[in-house]
Amino acid sequence: MRWLPLFLDLRGRRVVVIGGGAIAERKIDLLIQSGAAIRIIAPAITPRLAARLTAGELEHAPRDFVPADLDGARLAIAATDAPLVNRAVATAAEARNIFANIVDNAELSTGILPAIVDRSPLVIAIGTEGSAPALARYVRAHIESLLDESLGRLAGFLARWRERIRQRVPDTLLRRRLYERILHGPVADRVRAAREDEAAVLLDQMTLAGAAAGGAPACEGGRVQIVGAGPGDPGLLTLHALRALQGADVVLHDRLVSAGVLGLARREAQLIEVGKSARGHSIDQAHIHELMREHAARGLRVVRLKGGDPFIFGRGGEEIAFLRTHGIPYEVVPGITAALACAAYAGIPLTHRDHAASLRIVTAHCQGAIDAVDWRTLALQRETLAIYMAVGTVERVEAELLRHGRAPDTPVAFIENGSRPEQRVLIGTLAGAAALSAAHAVSSPALLVVGSVAALAAQLHWYGDVPLDGRPRATARVAHSG
């Protein structure tokens, strides 16, 4: 290891930056965060650096570099595209026994600024000894996706508790076990949820119990995360959802959650399908509640993984009500719901201003749901309807919309397996929606879009196969003419 990683305290200490261009900007952004006293040596600087100068965040000497510029400095950074100037900076720094970072020249440098993941006071530095900066940035991007933004708050929280924990749990091994419980339990959950007062109460109870028991920290129960899996494409998972899956002990997942999404779960996690289906085997909601309670009671981290978003026809509200009633810690991670994702993957802008004044999201999964719908309102002409689970009831949906005044030639689109490699889009008209679905054997999961925006899929599609256009030919010509 040629380069020793080292964190420097530069608060109020002189750092000289030679160069006033875009590269210097990036270095100075970091230096300002560190509290360094920055002095730029450059004939000219960018407008952004000039704004920082006006704000009093740095000094500027508008001239060429001379070796004496490094007198009294703790660090020098050469950020120019002039090899002779960069070499002069390296020579002057060596003569004064100060570290120098010569951008894009590791051989002349005695210090390298690494790629940084900043969750202050938690900071991770990534370096490749100057040989592959692009690789360092690549690794940083992966680490960024794994580390929650709340880790900075957690680090600060633990710093405030460090001495009290040391006094109450003096044994090193027991203290290490306590920290493991903190990081993987409800204390960290409360900090992540911006409820640090509650986290402090929990930690106080844990450490007091540990002191009373001769240093053995109290054990706590598990937790449940209600997580939205999106419509199928693993790339549509949020960072919070990915982190939940990679920290799970048990994943209770819906039937339609894609294999790609499940493949992102922690390898040791137990995967349990708890899906519901209009046909065949189903698990009732009461049993799902009991599974969540049972696994959380064993102290496990449970992810209840639901297709789309948990609160859009996903019964997530019922599940967190159950968890709250039973005193089980929980959090909710929203997901990208099918109406938004599937329409986007089909090239259908749901609220295109030339076609739709509003958007309604409704479900038609059973006759009871259909009977509760206000069809008169849904029949408004300049409104987009995104109808979930309509495959089995499309005949009734078609009939009700037509009966309440929706135009028979209103464009519709079925989006089957939206966002997945097997995505299929069929375009037709409202009067022929049921026939179109039957002719092409549309199956779940499928979203039905009703409204003039549906026809735009023929022009704006970008993902998967070209949409199948089942509209009458004259209607298709009109749709393409714009």
User: For the CA atoms of 142, 147, 148, 150, what is the dihedral angle to 10 degrees?
Assistant: -140
The closest of 338, 312, 305 to 447, measured between CA atoms, is 338
Going from the C-alpha of 130 to that of each of 6, 66, 75, 88, 246, the distances in angstroms are 15, 26, 17, 20, 31
Distance CA 312, CA 334 (A): 10
Catalytic residue among 69, 254, 309, 469: 254
Q: Which of 16, 100, 94, 118 is nearest to 60 (CA)?
A: 16
Backbone φ/ψ region at 340: left (φ over 0), alpha (ψ -120 to 50), beta? alpha
Pairing of strands 330-333, 223-228: parallel
* Count of C-beta atoms within a 10 Å radius of residue 477: 10
Neighbours of 312 (CB within 10 A): 21
CB neighbour class for 459 (10 Å; exposed up to 12, middle 13-18, buried from 19): exposed
**8 Å CB contact between 294 and 217:** no
DSSP 307-325: SB-TTSSS-HHHHHHHHHH
Q: Residue 321 CB: number of other CB atoms within 10 A?
A: 11
> How far, in whole angstroms, is CA 102 from its chain's centroid?
35
Span between the terminal Cα atoms of the chain, in Å: 63
Q: Which of 118, 148, 276, 409 is catalytic?
A: 276
Closest CA to 186 of 155, 152, 225: 225
Instruction: Report the side by side order of strands in the sheet with 223-228.
Output: 270-273, 250-253, 301-306, 223-228, 330-333
Q: Give the H/E segment covering residue 117.
A: strand 115-119
Closest residue by Cα to residue 444 from 470, 464, 481, 414: 414
Burial class (CB within 10 angstroms; exposed 0-12, middle 13-18, buried 19+) of 99: middle
Residue found under tokens 């880790």: 151
Q: Is 276 a catalytic residue?
A: yes
Assign 293 to helix, strand or coil. helix
Active site residues: 254, 276
